[in-house]
A and B are shown apart, each in its own frame.
Chain A
Amino acid sequence: MKVKVIRRVFQLAVLAVLIAVPIYTQNPIEWAPSRIALGELPPPRVSQVWGDTWSFSFYGINITHPLAALEAILAAKVIYLPLIMAALLPIAITLLLGRVFCSWLCPVGFLLELNQRFRSFLRARGIGVKVKLRDYRYHLLGFTLMLTFFFATPIVSAFDPPHVLGRELFYLFTYHSVSLGGIALLTGIFAFEALAAERGWCRSLCPAGGLLSLLGAKRLLKIQKRKERCILCGECNLACPYDLRPVELGIDKDFNDKTCDNCGLCRDACPAGALYYTINTTRR
């Protein structure tokens, strides 16, 4: 079975939750302000499910993105225990499985993967420029964390794209409007990836992905290769969205451990079935 199919199920489920939660939490009726303040309002809806990929609660269980927790601690200079507890689960998952959030859960990553078809459609008609970007994620992460510390304001929280997408969906269903800044940011990223750098945001700019990369550098779940099956066709190199070289696994160069997000595209692309996921407990 292709990993991509399972991955799509996860991504679609996250997107469905992002849409379903604000639909469920919105007020049932569009109500107009009345002179009598409480009496003429419809019964309000009290929900216990809130949030998006940045921070999510389900009946008192909180899950918070590690970068959100880190930013809140750096900005407020206060350690708030429930926030740390909420970040523990994502941190544990990232330590063990790598930054699977980016490839398996992130709704913007999902839409940007679909955006690649639009990109190739434009490319076939000669529209767009070629931009090669180095990996600036760690620089951006350090820079924003520094600003967060000195200006005492969480910064990535304001523009993290999956969070912005969830926020805009929430604004859309609750207030029947979207915010200019968020829509401009999302459109900008999609246009940038369609016209200029292929997967430019995810592989070279996203600070949240950078933090997850650092956390998952020593992960257990890895892509490994059966050397005897490999026919050195190079299909996996073409499939990799991060320009890694799975074909060189175990041959001469070490696989770039930090960048890989275990998306499994190389495994799906391999015609000989040489690549596989492995739980790697020994140090290579």
Chain B
Amino acid sequence: MRLSRRSFIRSSALLWFGFFGFKMRRDVPVIRPPGATSDFLARCIRCGKCGEACPYDSIKFFDISAGANVATPYIDPLETPCYLCLKRTSEGKDEPLSDYLLCGEACPTGALKKIKNDRDTLLSLPDELKMGVSVLNRDICLAWQYDSCGECYYNCPLRDDAMLDYPPNEVITGAVGIRPYVNEKHCVGCGMCNYVCPVNEKIAKATVEPGRKLTYFEERYAAMVRNVIGKAGREVKLPAVRVVKRV
């Protein structure tokens, strides 16, 4: 097929527009740092101060491939969750690092609202300022299927409020261990549960690729993870508890 220069230019321009037009969609589900307003993309001046302020480097930034989102902050809970500016003391108690969540304190434009860093404020945070909400898939949850996990419950920064060890108003027979339940009213979507959930890609891949090294803890869960994923089918979304945007 002969392609004239003009039609080649036209088609490649269309391709480029399609590519970037798709990338520039405004409603891509991006987990923003805590306190992100609904007009975040308009207010954010891409200064990167939230990422510099973040004490655990949880906040990452998009590259040019994200189109209009270039240099805007996001949180990938699988890589590093938001620690809600907490530190764990030697007694095992979580304490706030600062008076305000540091990303909101650093933001010069009000794209990230300043949120006081204490438990009561975080529990009563309005929905539009939350990062997202965790969704638990009971079909592949080791605690629900095998009574043998509970990492998400133990690691939740808002334990017993955002993540409960037992669902309220539900009768479960034969339960001996933890049955994690996400309380959507209080969950801020920090992604800690997402991060610690053992039903993850790494373990799932290790079961098909024998060469992959697992840690002791992951080895402990590997057989059960293989079982739940085998039952649920390969196209199930991992991990068992994920952060999604609030709608």
Q: Which residues of A contact B (CB under 8 A)?
A: 21-22, 25-27, 33, 35-39, 41, 43-47, 50-52, 54-55, 57, 62, 64, 68-69, 71-72, 75-78, 80, 82-83, 86, 151-154, 157-158, 163, 166-167, 170-171, 174-175, 179-182, 184
Contact = CB atoms under 8 A, between A and B. Distances in A.
Nearest to A151: B68
Nearest to B86: A38
B47 A52 contact: yes
Contacts, number: 152
Nearest to B90: A39
Contact of A71 (B45, B94, B108, B195): B45
B53 interface: yes
A35 B217 contact: yes
A92 B110 CA distance: 23
Given A43-B87, A152-B42, A179 B109 contact: no
B108 A175 contact: no
A83 B47 contact: no
A153 B81 contact: no
Interface residues of B, number: 49
B44 interface: yes
A57 B108 contact: yes
Interface stretch (B4-12, B57-65, B164-172): B57-65
Contact of B52 (A47, A82, A179): A47
B196 interface: yes
Nearest to B84: A38
Contacts of B65: 180-181
Interface string B94-112: 1001100010001011110
Nearest to B110: A80
Shortest 6 CB-CB distances between A and B: which pairs?
A181-B64, A44-B55, A55-B47, A38-B88, A75-B42, A50-B49
Given A33-B79, A76-B109, A82-B110, 16 more contacts: A27-B55, A35-B217, A37-B192, A38-B86, A38-B94, A44-B83, A44-B87, A57-B49, A62-B108, A69-B45, A72-B44, A83-B109, A152-B42, A154-B46, A174-B51, A175-B57
A170 B88 CA distance: 27
B56 interface: yes
A185 to B, nearest CB: 9
Interface string B197-229: 000000000000000000101100000000000
A189 to B, nearest CB: 15
A36 B39 CA distance: 35
B155 interface: yes
B231 interface: no
B196 to A, nearest CB: 5
B185 interface: no
Contacts of A39: 88, 92
Nearest to A171: B61
Contacts of B155: 36-38
B57 to A, nearest CB: 6
A244 to B, nearest CB: 32
A73 to B, nearest CB: 9
A179 B71 CA distance: 9
B110 A83 contact: yes
18 contacts: A27-B56, A33-B195, A41-B83, A51-B49, A52-B47, A54-B46, A55-B45, A68-B45, A72-B109, A76-B109, A82-B108, A157-B44, A157-B45, A163-B46, A167-B48, A179-B64, A180-B63, A181-B63
A46 B102 contact: yes
A86 to B, nearest CB: 6
B192 A153 contact: no
B15 interface: no
A258 B14 CA distance: 40
